[in-house]
Amino acid sequence: MIITIDGPAGSGKSTVARKLAARLRIPYLDTGAMYRVITLAAINAGANFEDEAELLDVAQKADYRLDLGPTHIRVTLGDHDVTEALRSMRVNTHTRFIAGAPKIRELLVNRQREIGRELGSMVTEGRDQGSVAFPDADAKFYIDADIRQRARRRYHELVADGEEVDEETVLQNVVERDRTDRERAVAPLRRPDDAVSIDTSHLGVTDVIAIMLWHLHSRGLIAQIPADDQ
Ligand code: C5P
């Protein structure tokens, strides 16, 4: 069973995807981490971010590994665990170059489909999972929230990671990423017609998971609602 969750930055996708996968006891794939690890590899290589051919070369050669489980995802680049480094503002401000490069998207979408085939079942989250990567997914969700709320969530995550940022800068970054995610020529962020929309502005994670599980159950995709034993 493939379940897709798409939505803009800070909508709560990652947390929700991780928790839903844990409840269902299947792995989850954070596809943003793939765009982020290529971004980090390009930064480390001192690549010219305006040069698509050079970025593609970095993406093809990047020696990264995703360790996927129902409660965690760890990313290594070469010999280094870069899971935390991927969330930095430096990476945030450069992902659009990677996300806007059609050949890199093709490479990553193919890898996502390969992972889906290997795992059989997973919750996968990103911007294009229901629209491009897995148009035939068993269930599709699209989650969104008020932009100030999303920026506040990202700000608190960055501060918790020890970054020195101010809320206004994070808001500007989220506004800019929304714009580039929605306006790019390839695989722009959009709600698939057959996705269930959830606005998380006034909902807690538990509520969102309950709505998703109820939906999966009502469609007969799960026999019963699994207990929350965490
Ligand atoms: O979800 P997250 O914020 O980690 O994603 C980082 C960036 O990667 C996004 O701003 C977006 O531009 C890009 N992305 C994408 N398609 C995906 C996942 C992420 O374009 N499926």
List, for residues 145-168, the tens digit of each pLDDT value: 999 999 999 999 889 988 899 999
CATH number at residue 205: 3.40.50.300
Nearest to 170 by CA among 49, 97, 99, 87: 87
Q: Residue 179 class from Cβ within 10 Å (0-12 exposed, 13-18 middle, 19+ buried)?
A: exposed
* 9 φ/ψ angles, rounded to the nearest 5 degrees: -55, 135
**Domain hosting residue 51, numbered range:** 2-209
List, for the chain, all residue ranges whose pLDDT scores fall below the cut of 70. 230
Residue closest via CA to ligand 1's atom 1 equals: 32
Res 71: pLDDT:
77
Res 132: pLDDT:
96
Note whether residue 226 is domain-resident: no
The model carries a pTM of: 0.93
Note whether residue 194 is domain-resident: yes
Note whether residue 215 is domain-resident: no
Note whether residue 230 is domain-resident: no
Res 81: pLDDT:
97
CA distance 110 to 181: 20
Of 2, 43, 89, 95, which is best to mutate to test ligand 1, by the most ligand atoms within 8 angstroms of its C-beta?
95
Res 30: pLDDT:
94
Note whether residue 224 is domain-resident: no
Tell me, using a 6 A CB cutoff, whether residue 9 lines ligand 1.
Answer: yes
pLDDT digits (tens, 9 = 90+) for 103-137: 999 999 999 999 999 999 999 999 999 999 999 99
Note whether residue 106 is domain-resident: yes
Q: Residue 1 class from Cβ within 10 Å (0-12 exposed, 13-18 middle, 19+ buried)?
A: middle
| Cβ atoms of 9 and 105 closer than 8 Å | no
Nearest to 1 by CA among 217, 180, 163: 217
Tell me, using a 6 A CB cutoff, whether residue 36 lines ligand 1.
Answer: yes
Res 228: pLDDT:
86
CA distance 178 to 162: 24
Nearest to 174 by CA among 161, 164, 165: 165
Tell me how many domains the chain contains.
Answer: 1
Res 230: pLDDT:
60
Residue closest via CA to ligand 1's atom 8 equals: 32
Note whether residue 112 is domain-resident: yes
What the block records as the tokens of 222 is 């799960």
Nearest atom in ligand 1 to 129's CA: 21
Nearest atom in ligand 1 to 108's CA: 21
3-state secondary structure of 162: coil
Note whether residue 162 is domain-resident: yes
Nearest atom in ligand 1 to 181's CA: 12
